[in-house]
Amino acid sequence: MDGSEGRRAPRAGADPRGVPVSYANADAIDGLERALEMSLAFRGDAIAEIDAVLAAHPDFIMGWLFKAGWLTQAMETRIYGEMVAALDEAERRAAHANDRERGHLAAVRAWVRGDFFGAVQEWEKVLVAWPMDLFALELVHLTDVLLGDVVGQRDAVARVFNLWDESVPGYEFVLGFYSFGLEENRDFGRAEELGRHALSIRADNPYAVHAVSHVMEMKGRQQGGIRFMKEYEDRWGTSNFSNHLWWHTSLYHLDIEERGKVLEIYDAHLSSEGKAHDKYEELDAASLLWRLKLADVDVGERWRHLADKWEPAAQDTLYAFNDVHAMMAYVADDRKDAQKALLTANERYVESASDANVAMSREIGMPFCLAIQDFQAERYGACVDRLLPVRYMTHRLGGSYAQRDVIGWTLLEAALRAKRFDLALGLANERTALKPTSAQNWRCVARAFRGLGQTGRAERAEAKAQSLIAG
């Protein structure tokens, strides 16, 4: 099923789910539905699609609100002007908007002011009144991921979930959202059940693949994860989400120390060399290369190509999650000017700004950026001292548990290299308790025991790692 088979024809004044639309033109509403489906399925170009609709129907306010709303998720300075321009077009037509559209308008206004949490609240108000507003649900859920609101990722969907079923167009996407929210809240069994249900309806749903892949990552089912990703690769591999799903695939291989395979995946699918400017691709690339650095793998010139991509964004201060990944590239490629530019811009920003990203930058972004510098300079003790106090606050950086795990791994590796072996053992034990199938985690346990002079225990931990690799 490609999604179109279950699509209802829009009726005048409403979308296929019965949600009111003030511009009662069936062609315009159908075009909006196509663009929405592209955004949900991570296929095609949703902005180009809605632009074509708006060229024919310039007074279609929900079309302008879709464009502005979808562009909020880019979290890139270069997109900001286009988002504001779409909002301005919607504002010009606000007098003709219905209550649902005015809710979307209020949300984007809040976003442009930098009040990301306020935007979520406005979209949630829309969902309370119109629980079938699939676009509002998409924006609430994805923004909660960006902001690290773990409970919100689940509960925003839970509030409307029982009102949906397979008769409602887009149900498979709602299942995917709920699956991911459940996974991030460690309800792994139900998360996998709903993710696989979504895939039974629509096998080329990359977000559902993503949710199931997270379950397998968190549960340490590396071989099962590799098989699962391979089984669905012909479907997700052609989506706009493929870069991130290849990143997930690489994590399974990294956990069982198949580092050559990780580099193969990086070069074939994650490398930014010769690709268009795309922050999501660059985030995954930096995240994976930094993990390889922590594992003491020589990645050659790969950092240089990636740092070239990141350098124009050194002073963006738009999203702390971006900044820490940029810093990884600048530090690893010894770009001191870019490091200084990023830190200086952020220092000025946190002193003068008042938007939602300020707290993210001050509490987690800046400490992690400085810790990254410390790690590269072999000031491992300083790296530990920066990260240890914030280790249970890292959700405020945004992203998923799997993405933020790079902070915990950096802390552990710094503790080992700082010869703080008692602390390192405790941190490594935490990781093996959460994921006992990770050979990488057991190697760290062994290194900590060896540092403490407990040779027998170190050898047993090494044997555990070896057995996991052999298995």
**Structure confidence at residue 86 (pLDDT):** 98
Question: So what's the pLDDT on residue 5?
Answer: 44
pLDDT of 1: 36
Domain locations in the chain as residue ranges: 277-418, 419-470
pTM above 0.85, yes or no: yes
| Coil/strand/helix, residue 180 | helix
pLDDT of residue 2: 43
Q: What is the mean pLDDT of the chain?
A: 94
* Structure tokens, 7: 């699509």
Inter-residue contact 113 to 355 (CB < 8 Å): yes
Question: pLDDT tens for residues 132-179?
Answer: 999 999 999 999 999 999 999 999 999 999 999 999 999 999 999 999
What does the pLDDT read at residue 84?
Answer: 97
pLDDT of residue 355: 83
Could you tell me if 79 and 71 are in contact, meaning their C-beta atoms sit under 8 angstroms apart?
yes
Residues of the chain where predicted confidence (pLDDT) is lower than 70: 1-12, 272-280
pLDDT digits over 402-432, tens only?
999 999 999 999 999 999 999 999 999 999 9
Task: Give Cα separations from 198 to 222, 240, 451 (angstroms).
Answer: 22, 18, 48
Task: Name the nearest CA neighbour of 367 among 395, 348, 389, 351.
Answer: 389
Residue position matching structure tokens 């933020």 = 404
